[in-house]
Amino acid sequence: MKVPLNRMFVDDDTRKAVLEVLESGRYVKGPKADELENIFSELIGAPFSVSCSSGSTALMLAFRALGIGKGDEVIVPSHTFIASINGFQHFGAVPRFVDIDRETFTMDVDAARLAINDRTAAILPVHIYGHPARMDVLEELAVEKEIALIGDAAQAHGARFRGADVGVLGDMTCYSFFPSKVVTVAGEGGMITCGDPELSDLLKALRNHGRYEGERDVSSMPGFNFRLPEIQAAVGVVQMSHMNKWIDRRREIARIYNEELEGLDWLTTPVEMDWARHVYYLYVIRLQDRDRLAEHLSSRGISTGVHYRVPAHKMPYFKGAWDLPVTERTVEEILSLPIHPLLTEEELKYIIGSVRGFRP
Ligand SMILES: Cc1ncc(COP(=O)(O)O)c(C=O)c1O
């Protein structure tokens, strides 16, 4: 049996939606991107949603909109995909890496508090693997210190902190629609949610060459072309209509994995804190023999992943020593098992049986 780590959902509605755009002749700045923004706002509960060309450009737009740049520091976990950090770096801001909480893999909020200094302009928690960060503490901190709070929810569509969707917490929340994500657009795409209408207008202008709505010939500021193409938006609209059902299925698969693997004393299953709604973009176990288990599963046709093997602070272009013991230990131990709504019961059983059959 071959079990991929991920598989994208494509149905007749998706095919029809793509063909409609192809035949419409409207490939950018059309009605589908608007429709996706409206559906996104409705499902996430966010007052404003601004679509864009990727999760990476969502982050760039967010930092650009707040004018964060040279001389500024951003508090961010090192245990994340490098795109979390790239965005603000392009504007001259630098990361102040903090360690993670060992259980949830998200930002250690005590470390975040200690890391704040005169140069801190923003905190960027990453809701990694689909588990929310401790947003109450971070919101308090951001208000107290008068700094921005931007959530990286690239992996966390629909994740909730104490019942509130992560998309309504902080100043802005950035999403990715990369093909593996909880919701995708069959290509590159992103979204930013926020609660401030002026900020929403600014983000929309920045993604469209600095032109505010209605401006055609005059740019109000230097902007970008970070728009979401219509074909991608049309796929996103279909995908969003399945989001909640898919999250339920991801959660159900995680429950079964937890039940079936919990008895194995050589691995640790992921946790969901009682204040969290985990959406299980990834199901990440921890164990000493990570690479050997990955090889064992691979020999049985099962794909796994390591998200991520090299933490951001170890990238060769970052100078300086960082003291991040939990992050450095975690990256040696983590392994992502297949989890997605199209995973069959048979595949799930096969994976569980294969993990249980491993001798550490
Ligand atoms: C945590 C995190 N941040 C940012 C990104 C960037 O998103 P994209 O790949 O859509 O640019 C990703 C996704 O790949 C991600 O996982």
Atom of ligand 1 nearest to the CA of 83: 4
Domain boundary among 220, 240, 260: 240
Helix H or strand E segment including 85: helix 83-89
| pLDDT score for 13 | 98
Q: Evaluate whether residue 5 is within a structural domain.
A: no
Pocket of ligand 1, beta carbon within 6 A: 54-56, 80-81, 83-84, 126, 152, 154-155, 176, 178, 188, 190
Atom of ligand 1 nearest to the CA of 190: 10
Number of domains in the chain: 2
The DSSP code for 227 is P
SS3 234: helix
Residues 155 and 235 in one domain: yes
Residue 275 scores a pLDDT above 90: yes
| Euclidean distance between CA atoms 190 and 201, whole angstroms | 16
Q: Evaluate whether residue 348 is within a structural domain.
A: yes
Query: pTM of whole model > 0.95?
Result: yes
| pLDDT score for 320 | 80
Interacting residues of 102 by C-beta distance below 8 A, sequence separation 6+: 326, 330
Q: Evaluate whether residue 94 is within a structural domain.
A: yes
Residues 162 and 258 in one domain: no
pLDDT digits (tens, 9 = 90+) for 53-93: 999 999 999 999 999 999 999 999 999 999 999 999 999 99
Residues 96 and 156 in one domain: yes
Closest by CA position to 238, among listed 48, 36, 28: 36
Q: Evaluate whether residue 7 is within a structural domain.
A: no
| Euclidean distance between CA atoms 244 and 339, whole angstroms | 15
pLDDT digits (tens, 9 = 90+) for 115-171: 999 999 999 999 999 999 999 999 999 999 999 999 999 999 999 999 999 999 999
Residues 210 and 253 in one domain: no
Note down the domain range covering 137: 12-240
pLDDT digits (tens, 9 = 90+) for 178-189: 999 999 999 999
Q: Which residues pair with 28 in a beta bridge?
A: none
| pLDDT score for 319 | 81
Q: Evaluate whether residue 4 is within a structural domain.
A: no
* Whether 236 contacts 44, CB under 8 Å: no
* Whether 283 contacts 341, CB under 8 Å: no
Summarize the confidence of residues 255-261 as an average pLDDT: 98
Residues 249 and 233 in one domain: no
Query: Given ligand 1 and candidates 6, 53, 56, 74, which is best to mutate, with the most ligand atoms within 8 Å of its CB?
Result: 56
User: Beta strand pairing status for 120-123 and 148-152?
Assistant: parallel
Residues 319 and 218 in one domain: no
| Residue with tokens 């909020």, as numbered in its chain | 109
Whole-number average pLDDT of the chain:
97
Render 96-121 in DSSP notation, one character per residue: EEE-B-TTT-SB-HHHHHHH--TTEE
Q: Which amino acid appears at position 317 of this protein?
A: Y
| pLDDT score for 93 | 98
Q: What CATH number does the domain containing 67 carry?
A: 3.40.640.10
Question: What is the Å distance from ligand 1's center to 294 Cα?
Answer: 24
Domain boundary among 223, 240, 257: 240
Residues 199 and 175 in one domain: yes
Summarize the confidence of residues 337-356 as an average pLDDT: 98
Q: Evaluate whether residue 187 is within a structural domain.
A: yes
Residues 21 and 140 in one domain: yes
Interacting residues of 94 by C-beta distance below 8 A, sequence separation 6+: 72, 73, 74
Report residue 174 as tokens. 């950035």
Residues 55 and 164 in one domain: yes
Query: Given ligand 1 and candidates 88, 177, 178, 183, which is best to mutate, with the most ligand atoms within 8 Å of its CB?
Result: 178
